[in-house]
Every structure is written in C-alpha cells, then in structure tokens.
C-alpha cells in the first residue's frame, strides 16, 4: 500500500519563480542551494541551518532520481526524489524544494535569480560547474561557501549501516 506524501513546500519551477518574485517584492533575500540529500544526516542539517541564516528564505534544488543515478551510480539514490523532498520540507529552515531534472542547475539559477547561492565548504569557486557559475554571475548572486562539518557524509552513513549488519 502506498501513501501519497502531501508536501506543500514542493514546488514546480514556475511556482517557485512566482514565490521568488513575491519575496523580491517584499524586499526579502532568497538563498538557493542544491544537492542530492539522499539520507539526511547531521552534516546536512548543520549546513542547511547555516544556509538559511544567510537570508530570509531557503530554496533547495533537489537532484532528480535520474540525475542522482548519473552522479552516484545505479544503486543511488537510496530514497526517491519524492521521499527526499518530503524529508527536506519537514525542516523548519527549508522554505521550498524544487526537483531539477537536468544534470546541471543552470536553468533553475537563471529562473530563480537567488540573492545568495550556498554550497558546503568542501566546494570552492573552481569546483563549481562553469555554466552554473556563469549563471550565478549573470543573476548577480553572491556565492557563499559554508563551513564543512567533517565526519558526516551519506557515503559514510551507508558504510556504517552496512557494517552494522542485520539490525
């Protein structure tokens, strides 16, 4: 039996753009980040809280299931895009989630034109995709690299679960 997950924070790109326009009209700053967020862990939570503190609203561009497979391999994601979006939307620091289907976030960056773009500190300006970086410059988004909380990753979490064996 499957249960539909009601998620009022999961937006189509068009709906997110409309909400972005309302934020801009109200003089509020939008922070955008993106990622897979396959199994939420302490590192994710720490990062998302720090990202939200940079502005008035935090939108997450969430990799689709297909793009996760391309990035992480055939056994990922562990949870579907709908399950991952539901978990993220349950966080008080998250104001909206948009699932993106492409390999890169460039169209979403241009459409949402965030005031700030946040990435974890394991990224650098040089590690950002050149097209995404160009789009961020084009919309005049400030790029912030937030402190990386070492010792927390989805890969490490999966390894710990495997090591625990049958629970």
d(CA 125, CA 141): 13
Which of 68, 28, 53, 40 is closest to 147 using CA atoms? 53
- What does the pLDDT read at residue 142? 98
Has residue 3 got a pLDDT over 80?
no
- Please state the domain extents for the chain: 13-164
Question: 13-164 adopts what CATH topology?
Answer: Rossmann fold (3.40.50)
| pLDDT tens-digit readout, 9-28 | 999 999 999 999 999 999 99
- What does the pLDDT read at residue 2? 54
Classify the phi-psi angles of 73: left when phi > 0, otherwise alpha if psi is within -120 to 50, otherwise beta.
Answer: left
Task: Specify the pTM.
Answer: 0.90
Residues 6+ positions from 132 with CB-CB distance below 8 Å: 104, 105, 106, 109
- What does the pLDDT read at residue 165? 79
| pLDDT tens-digit readout, 35-88 | 999 888 888 999 999 999 999 999 999 999 999 999 889 998 999 999 999 999
Residue 98 banded pLDDT, cuts 50, 70, 90: very high
| Token pair listed for 55 | 């502005």
| Token pair listed for 29 | 């700053």
Contact present, 67 and 101 (Cβ < 8 Å)? yes
Residue 1 banded pLDDT, cuts 50, 70, 90: very low
Work out the average pLDDT over 27-32.
98
| pLDDT tens-digit readout, 121-149 | 888 899 999 999 999 999 999 999 998 77
């Amino acid at each position: 039996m499957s249960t539909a997950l009601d998620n009022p924070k999961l937006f189509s790109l068009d709906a997110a753009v409309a909400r972005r326009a309302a934020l801009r009209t109200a003089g509020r700053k939008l922070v955008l980040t993106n990622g897979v967020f396959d199994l939420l862990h302490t590192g994710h939570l720490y990062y998302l809280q720090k990202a939200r503190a940079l502005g008035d609203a935090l939108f997450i561009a969430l990799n689709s299931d297909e793009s996760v497979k391309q990035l992480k391999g055939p056994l990922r994601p562990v949870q579907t895009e709908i399950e991952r979006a539901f978990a993220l939307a349950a966080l008080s620091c998250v104001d909206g989630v948009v699932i993106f289907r492409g390999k890169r976030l460039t169209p979403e960056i241009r459409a949402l034109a965030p005031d700030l773009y946040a990435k974890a500190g394991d990224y650098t300006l040089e590690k950002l995709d050149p097209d995404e970086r160009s789009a961020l410059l084009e919309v005049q988004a400030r790029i912030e690299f937030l402190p990386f909380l070492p010792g927390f990753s989805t890969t490490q979490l999966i390894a710990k679960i495997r090591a625990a064996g049958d629970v």
